[in-house]
Amino acid sequence: MKQLLILSGKGGTGKTTVAGAFIKISQAKAYADCDVDAPNLHLLMSQHVNPEQKDFYGLDKAIINQESCAACGLCAQYCRFDAIQKNGKVYQVDSFACEGCGLCDEICPVKAISMTPCIVGNLKMYKAKDVFSTAQLKMGNGNSGLLVSEVKKQMKNNKPENTHLAVIDGSPGIGCPVIASLSGVDMVLIVTEPSLSGMSDLDRIVKTTHKLQVKPAVCINKYDTNQQISNKIKDYCEKEGILFTGMIPYDNMVIKAVNQGRSIMDYECEAREAIKKVYQNTIKHIELTEEK
């Protein structure tokens, strides 16, 4: 099974719109949303079954037993994350600041501190003729990279037989969830936009893919909003030897599709035809890579 990951250097470029369109065009039997901080692929992919759900546990968090606590203050003194503060006569742990290192548990002279399992997210899997794996990280929690790995693992373990292509909608930026998303994929399509921030973030994510030895491809969304910068992006791709798969125009039908919770492939418009060409160029490259 080939895995195509769709990324963007910044938010708002149209990454999820392109991912949803690719899923529709390819009739993918397995796909995933690895933007666990703010998943939204499910808004475009109508599901007719209830998802299987399970809690995702991160690192254990410290809890202080107030009845046993001697209020000596050692835990607060040695906590390098400033997660323990005095509240009146007692000490309390800020669960958002606690990193689960367990030092306070080790040094507490009266054993009033314990490390307890903590639910940091929720895994979901829609399973019918196809498999859609996604997750939601709880506010203020870390472990996004681990949760992304679980989303991908869930998709692969439950994919239908004869699944040839999996489409993965990744996170914007170059952080932990992006790095976890890049692991094991066959190709990355970077959706960028013709703006100064778009160019800068494109360069950052291209360098990230090179370091992780994943070959990138690039397409420009809303290219006609700034033709000059679109040309600079094309020149950049040519200079860096990056596959350029096409340009998608700004199209009001995209806004209509998103507002109605549907894929742009459900509408006859310029953006739809342009995305089809981007898809054909991208898939052709995956097939050529496989032959080599």
Task: Judge if 112 and 42 occupy the same domain.
Answer: no
Question: Which CATH number does the domain housing residue 113 bear?
Answer: 3.30.70.20
* Tokens 């870390």 -> residue: 142
Q: Is residue 119 a contact partner of residue 147, using CB atoms and an 8 Å limit? A: no
Final residue in a domain of this structure, among 73, 91, 117: 117
Q: Rounded to an integer, what is the distance from CA 22 to the centroid of its chain?
A: 16
Task: Judge if 31 and 156 occupy the same domain.
Answer: yes
Task: Judge if 130 and 113 occupy the same domain.
Answer: no
Structural domain range at position 265: 2-56+123-291
Final residue in a domain of this structure, among 84, 102, 117: 117
DSSP state of 223: G
Task: Judge if 64 and 50 occupy the same domain.
Answer: no
Task: Judge if 273 and 208 occupy the same domain.
Answer: yes
Task: Judge if 275 and 135 occupy the same domain.
Answer: yes
Q: Is residue 104 a contact partner of residue 75, using CB atoms and an 8 Å limit? A: yes
Final residue in a domain of this structure, among 117, 133, 161: 117
Task: Judge if 73 and 207 occupy the same domain.
Answer: no
Q: Is 24 helix (H, G, I), strand (E, B) or coil?
A: helix
Number of domains in the chain: 2
Cβ contacts of 149-152, under 8 Å, gap ≥ 24: 149/180, 149/183, 150/56, 150/123, 151/32, 151/33, 151/34, 151/36, 151/123, 152/32, 152/34, 152/180, 152/181, 152/183, 152/184
Please tell me the pTM assigned to this model: 0.88
How far is it, in rounded angstroms, from Cα 74 to Cα 117?
23
Task: Judge if 65 and 41 occupy the same domain.
Answer: no
Task: Judge if 206 and 234 occupy the same domain.
Answer: yes
Task: Judge if 23 and 79 occupy the same domain.
Answer: no
* Tokens 């501190």 -> residue: 113
pLDDT tens, position by position, for the chain (292 residues)?
A: 899 999 998 888 999 999 999 999 999 999 999 999 999 999 888 777 889 999 999 889 999 999 999 999 999 999 999 999 998 888 999 988 999 999 999 999 999 999 999 999 999 999 988 999 999 999 877 778 889 999 999 999 999 888 889 999 999 988 889 999 999 899 999 999 999 999 999 999 999 999 999 999 999 999 999 999 999 999 999 999 999 999 999 999 999 998 888 899 988 999 999 999 999 999 988 765 554 4
Task: Judge if 243 and 282 occupy the same domain.
Answer: yes
Q: Is 84 helix (H, G, I), strand (E, B) or coil?
A: strand
**Token pair for 104:** 């306070």
Question: Which CATH number does the domain housing residue 231 bear?
Answer: 3.40.50.300
Pairing of strands 216-221, 84-87: unpaired
Q: Is residue 167 a contact partner of residue 31, using CB atoms and an 8 Å limit? A: yes
**Token pair for 261:** 């919770």
Task: Judge if 189 and 247 occupy the same domain.
Answer: yes
Q: Rounded to an integer, what is the distance from CA 289 to the centroid of its chain?
A: 24
